[in-house]
């Protein structure tokens, strides 16, 4: 496949995304290829670890290929997107639960589907140019691909903040929020990969790690906890409108622009998931409740149209005043019955 290079080098299973001009956006076929490789390598004793990386400097993976989802959705075909998400989420769970070390090297933009690919492994590496985010609420989706698990595990109310604003995290912020583990200068990656391939020893990752320059999130944590601790989107909006300071000004501007039903459901998802019973499968099943309905009953098609297709940046959201009824959130997140996401291997 021209968009992805899957091979074995030494003791390492190698998966490299190879469509840098498209910011290594993840297509359905690429998801299936990753999943197949992971299955094939799982019982292979010659393969000690898996390395995920990507070509180009701009992005590890800037997200899923949503243009193809829009084309099918606008024709009334919701099943294609539902199948895409179902199989992508199963691949995300496979990475999280993989019995061997999974090392991801995330340069540039790592967003949406890229988070699902790169942020569930055992050794998640960023560099000086890394920018990680979950910007789904800007197009009428929710943080998915297991992102809700990461947001629910983030310290304090960072999850709510990152989830509804889509704020980009540099290397230190990503480590602080639990989306990455180690910062290694990009110039050192080639040598690191050679060592990993030759030895099959993931300890080389930690040996190469260096402290990341301090990011803004650590200093903003107190304000984030104060303004994003509400039970609902309305609570958070009211707290922001009554507040002051740079964080409030920046966050309120984004919250007033993003999709209300998506933000309201994101907050509810994080609150439901947070706690000792959280698992990757529970998070993905909750996300799938929303994404399964996102085209037919949510604002996803309108969000993609406004941001990606027509680029008028003027979406006509449901609940445009920002007041999302609790019943609307419940409908988007209610169990799917026979369509519930499962993880049995086909």
- Report the chain (346 residues): mean pLDDT per 10 consecutive residues: 91 98 95 97 97 98 88 93 96 98 98 97 98 97 98 98 98 98 98 98 98 96 97 97 96 97 98 96 98 96 94 95 96 98 86
Q: Are 180 and 215 in contact (CB under 8 A)?
A: no
pTM: 0.97
H or E segment to which residue 335 belongs: none
Hunting for tokens 């990152």 — which residue is that? 162
Q: In terms of DSSP bridges, do strands 12-17 and 4-9 run parallel, antiparallel, or are they unpaired?
A: antiparallel
Alpha helices in the chain (DSSP H): 28-42, 66-74, 79-96, 113-118, 147-153, 158-165, 171-177, 189-199, 203-208, 217-227, 233-241, 246-255, 260-273, 280-294, 300-304, 326-333
Q: Are 267 and 228 in contact (CB under 8 A)?
A: no
Q: Are 6 and 14 in contact (CB under 8 A)?
A: yes
pLDDT at residue 207, rounded to an integer: 97
* Active-site annotation holds for 144: yes
> Which of the residues 65, 136, 172, 173 is marked catalytic?
136
Return the CATH fold of 4-339. 2-enoyl-CoA Hydratase; Chain A, domain 1 (3.90.226)
* Active-site annotation holds for 128: no
The encoded tokens of residue 141 equal 């989706």
The encoded tokens of residue 252 equal 């309120």
DSSP letter for 122, please.
S
The encoded tokens of residue 323 equal 């007041």
pLDDT at residue 65, rounded to an integer: 82
Which residues fall within 8 angstroms of residue 96, CB to CB, at 6 or more apart?
120, 121, 146, 280
Closest C-alpha to 273, from 259, 290, 287, 262 = 287
Integer angstrom CA distances of residue 294 from 128, 191, 265: 35, 43, 11
> Which of the residues 108, 113, 118, 146 is marked catalytic?
113
Q: Are 46 and 10 in contact (CB under 8 A)?
A: no
pLDDT at residue 1, rounded to an integer: 54
> Which of the residues 53, 65, 88, 144 is marked catalytic?
144
Q: Are 200 and 49 in contact (CB under 8 A)?
A: yes
Rounded to whole angstroms, the Cα distance separating 55 from 190 reads: 12
> Which of the residues 64, 112, 116, 147 is marked catalytic?
64
């Amino acid at each position: 496949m021209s968009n992805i290079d899957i091979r074995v080098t030494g003791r390492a299973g190698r998966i490299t995304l190879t469509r840098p001009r498209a910011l290594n956006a993840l297509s359905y076929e690429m998801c299936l290829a990753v999943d197949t490789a992971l299955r094939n390598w799982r019982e292979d004793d010659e393969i000690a670890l898996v390395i995920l990386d990507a070509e180009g400097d701009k992005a590890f993976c800037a997200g899923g290929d949503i243009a193809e989802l829009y084309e099918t959705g606008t024709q009334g075909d919701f099943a294609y997107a539902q199948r895409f998400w179902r199989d992508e989420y199963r691949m995300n769970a496979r990475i999280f639960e993989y019995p061997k070390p999974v090392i991801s090297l995330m340069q540039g933009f790592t967003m949406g589907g890229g988070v699902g690919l790169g942020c569930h492994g055992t050794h998640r590496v960023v560099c000086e140019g890394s920018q990680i985010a979950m910007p789904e609420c800007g197009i009428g989706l929710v943080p998915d691909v297991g992102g809700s698990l990461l947001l629910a595990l983030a310290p304090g109310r960072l999850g709510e903040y990152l989830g509804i604003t889509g704020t980009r995290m540099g290397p230190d912020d990503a480590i602080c929020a639990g989306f990455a583990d180690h910062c290694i200068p990009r110039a050192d990656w080639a040598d690191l990969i050679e060592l990993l391939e030759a030895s099959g020893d993931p300890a080389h990752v930690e040996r190469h790690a260096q402290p990341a320059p301090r990011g803004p999130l650590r200093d903003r944590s107190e304000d984030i906890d104060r303004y994003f601790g509400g039970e609902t989107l309305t609570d958070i909006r009211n707290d922001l409108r009554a507040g002051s300071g740079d964080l409030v000004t920046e966050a309120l501007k984004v919250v007033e622009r993003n999709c209300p039903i998506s933000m309201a459901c994101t907050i509810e998802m994080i609150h439901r998931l947070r706690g000792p019973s959280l698992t990757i499968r529970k998070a993905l099943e909750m996300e799938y409740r929303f994404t399964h309905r996102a085209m037919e009953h949510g604002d996803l098609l309108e969000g993609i149209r406004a941001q990606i297709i027509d680029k008028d940046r003027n979406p006509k959201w449901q609940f445009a005043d920002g007041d999302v009824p609790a019943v609307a959130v419940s409908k988007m997140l209610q169990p799917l019955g026979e369509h519930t996401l499962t993880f049995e291997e086909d």
